[in-house]
Amino acid sequence: MDIRIRNVHKHFGPFIALGGIDLDIASGELIALLGPSGSGKTTLLRVIAGLEFPDHGQILFGGVDMARHPVRERRIGFVFQHYALFKHMTVFENIAFGLRIRPRNQRPSTSAIRARVLELLDLVQLSGLEQRFPSQLSGGQRQRVALARALAIDPRVLLLDEPFGALDAKVRKDLRQWLRDLHHKTGVTTIFVTHDQEEALELADRIVIMNGGAIEQVGPVDQVYEHPRTPFVFDFLGGTNVIAAELRGRRLWIGDRDIAVLHDSIHPSGPVDVYVRPGDLRLADDTAPGIQVEIQTVHRAGPIVRITARTEATGQPLSIELPHLHHDVPCFTVGARLRLRLMQFSVYPRSLHIPERTLPTPILIGRERTRVHPY
């Protein structure tokens, strides 16, 4: 079922939770709503579900406006962060609930319900646990029961509100992969809310980045990650270093060094901010071109080395992440003076430092393709 959202507004008192949302979701898509808390992502999900009603706007399910219909008429599957399983019912009864409460003339036979529940248990890999109570299951198992329960009514769209938020890191990773497979198998249009950018990037076909009740950027995962339209999106999708710079024509200057030529610049000369991820920085020896930095701390975290360095020109601290290689670690000693290279970065005009609601179209994406051998 495809879903179209048209100009949806929702206020809670003076607080604008959703300020005019437009979004098209194709049938069978797996889409993530990503944003910080208070960005309106959960409200949008609940409005689609019918657990909240919009102040105005349309929610079209396959062309039919459902905005005024209560949740039980929408045939959606909703999965809550804290599972919301019925504690007094067994796993079997939980999953069968949606079928058993149907009016007599629409209710499947007892044997059909049983077959459907067992089939779903198999799908969520919990066969044999149907007589357990929710309190006898682990968090990951409970969330899979909740998912099976939501799928039992054959929903037109599956909505998940931070489905893995209450689980520990390892289980969360496993369930992500598993949900991806499940979506592939069932093909149900799925929308999930998360504040974990890693989860959104790994799981979704497309991501919707929300901020302050508005959509900041929508697009396929790679596109949003590679071409963040605003500083907010850039910042939200991972660690960020912001370096003050100046654009003179097509040349980008940091301090008194001309560090790059931007081939696709559409921005006039003037002060800009360069946004660069810690993983897109490389250190080279003193003779190479680049910004002069001095290493402050070196900290090994599993497969990567985290380094903080200070630019010599302004004293600004920068964080750098390098893959850990045995032979180069000794070179990164505190106090060493090295050159910093920016492998990939985005440039935004200085005035956009604070992300705003109404942003012009993308400013400019700078990219330097030259590979520098990591020192």
Partner 1 sequence: MSPTVFAQGHTPRIARTSARRSVIPGFGLTLGYTLLYLSLIVLIPLAGVFYKSAGLGLEGIWAIISTPRVLAALKLSFGAALIGATINAVFGTLIAWVFVRYTFPGKRFFDAIIDLPFALPTAVAGIALTALYAGNGWIGQYLEPLGIKVAYTPLGVIVACTFIGLPFVVRTVQPVLQDAEQELEEAAASLGANRWQTITRVILPTVLPAVLTGYALAFARAVGEYGSVIFIAGNLPMVSEIAPLLIIIKLEEFDYAGATAVATAMLILSFFLLLVINALQAWARRRHGGKP
CB atoms under 10 Å from CB of 341, counted, come to 22
Could you tell me the smallest distance in angstroms from the CB atom of residue 136 to partner 1?
Answer: 6
Cβ burial of 163 (10 Å; 0-12, 13-18, 19+) is buried
Residue (135 or 361) nearer to partner 1, CB? 135
Residue (140 or 231) nearer to partner 1, CB? 140
Select the residue interacting with partner 1 from 1, 30, 120, 150 (CB under 8 A). 150
What are the backbone dihedrals phi and psi of residue 325, each rounded to the nearest 5 degrees, phi first?
-125, 135
Inter-axis angle of helices 139-152 and 91-100, to 10 degrees? 20
Cβ burial of 284 (10 Å; 0-12, 13-18, 19+) is middle
178 near partner 1, judged by CB under 8 A: no
156 near partner 1, judged by CB under 8 A: no
First to last CA, the chain: 52
Could you tell me the smallest distance in angstroms from the CB atom of residue 242 to partner 1?
Answer: 40
Contact, 374 vs 321, CB < 8 A?
no
Contact stretch for partner 1 (CB under 8 A) within 130-138, 190-198, 234-242, 251-259: 130-138
Specify the length of the chain in residues: 375
Answer left, alpha or beta for residue 315, where phi above 0 means left and psi between -120 and 50 means alpha.
left
Select the residue interacting with partner 1 from 60, 123, 153, 242 (CB under 8 A). 153
Residue (91 or 262) nearer to partner 1, CB? 91
Contact, 285 vs 307, CB < 8 A?
no
Q: In the stretch 64-103, what mask flags binding to partner 1 with x, by CB under 8 A?
A: ------xxx--xxxx-x-x-xxxxxx-------xx--xx-
163 near partner 1, judged by CB under 8 A: no
179 near partner 1, judged by CB under 8 A: no
45 near partner 1, judged by CB under 8 A: no
Residue (98 or 213) nearer to partner 1, CB? 98
Could you tell me the smallest distance in angstroms from the CB atom of residue 104 to partner 1?
Answer: 13
What gap in Å lies between CA 295 and CA 236, rounded to an integer? Answer: 26
Select the residue interacting with partner 1 from 21, 152, 233, 307 (CB under 8 A). 152
Residue (79 or 276) nearer to partner 1, CB? 79
49 near partner 1, judged by CB under 8 A: yes
Could you tell me the smallest distance in angstroms from the CB atom of residue 84 to partner 1?
Answer: 4
Q: Which of 150, 153, 152, 154 is nearest to 163 (CA)?
A: 150
Residue 286 exposure: Cα atoms within 13 Å on the Cβ side: 7
CB atoms under 10 Å from CB of 119, counted, come to 14
Contact stretch for partner 1 (CB under 8 A) within 49-57, 292-300, 344-352, 367-375: 49-57
- Alpha carbon 110 to chain centroid distance? 41
Token reading at 340: 């910093």
- Which residues would be at the binding site for partner 1 (CB under 8 A)? 49-51, 70-72, 75-78, 80, 82, 84-89, 97-98, 101-102, 133-136, 146, 149-150, 152-153
